[in-house]
Amino acid sequence: MAGSDIGDRIVKVNHAGEHGAVCIYSGQIFAARFTARRLVKELVEFRCHEQRHRAVFWAELQRRGKPRCHSYLLCGFGGYVLGLITGFLGAGAVAATTVAVEQVVLRHLEQQLFVLRGMDPAAVSAISSIVSEEREHHARSSAHLKAGNVWAKVLTPVVSASTEAVIWLGMRL
Ligand SMILES: [Fe+2]
Ligand SMILES: [Fe+2]
């Protein structure tokens, strides 16, 4: 893969992923109004970060003259459904989902920065501008998770595998 090509793909996948994240939080915000009202304010704040991340990658895609990923709408739909289900399951499921997603996302962002360093400065700066907020989502959600939470055990493998699958697919579309 040529340098700019892999940078284009990464920016495109991240843009679709951020859309997925926005939609996960939208589904959770809707459902948490019934199941976990105390989380709503934080979820709205996290969604606001994800909207900015999506805008950062969209601006970078447009600068490159590239279209959004074919997986964009799928990410949005899948994310919203995941958000609704986990939101209705309650606060433990919401926190477990964020921790699982962010764990996978953070590992990929670090790999991306490693691969793109010195090769694609614009992509590196877009990615670098979002990492600290993703770390914050992970840390704050981990703090809500009580040890031995049943949803963490049930949801983590499913959510991790789905997040990996979406990234894998997006890189190949
Ligand atoms: Fe994000
Ligand atoms: Fe996030």
pLDDT band at 3 (very low <50, low <70, confident <90, very high): low
- Say what the pTM is: 0.95
Q: At residue 76, does pLDDT exceed 60?
A: yes
Q: 26 C-alpha to center of ligand 1: Å?
A: 13
The CATH number assigned to the domain with range 3-172 reads 1.20.1260
d(CA 24, CA 136): 17
Alpha helix positions (H), 36-149:
40-63, 72-89, 91-116, 121-144
> Once rounded to an integer, what is the mean pLDDT over residues 54-62?
98
Among all bound ligands, the one having the nearest atom to the CA of 104 is: 2
Average pLDDT value for the chain: 95
- Where do the domains of the chain lie? 3-172
Question: Tell me, what's the pLDDT at 147?
Answer: 83
Q: 55 C-alpha to center of ligand 1: Å?
A: 10
Q: At residue 1, does pLDDT exceed 60?
A: no
Q: Which of 112, 100, 135 is nearest to 15 (CA)?
A: 112
Question: Tell me, what's the pLDDT at 2?
Answer: 55
Report the range of poorest mean pLDDT among 4-8, 115-119, 144-148. 144-148
Q: Which of 107, 110, 115, 101 is nearest to 8 (CA)?
A: 115
Six-digit token string for 170: 């997006």
Q: 107 C-alpha to center of ligand 1: Å?
A: 13
Q: 76 C-alpha to center of ligand 2: Å?
A: 14
CA atoms within 13 A on the CB side of 159: 28
Interhelix angle 3-35/121-144, nearest 10 degrees: 30
Q: 64 C-alpha to center of ligand 1: Å?
A: 20
Q: At residue 165, what is the residue type? A: A
Q: 98 C-alpha to center of ligand 2: Å?
A: 7
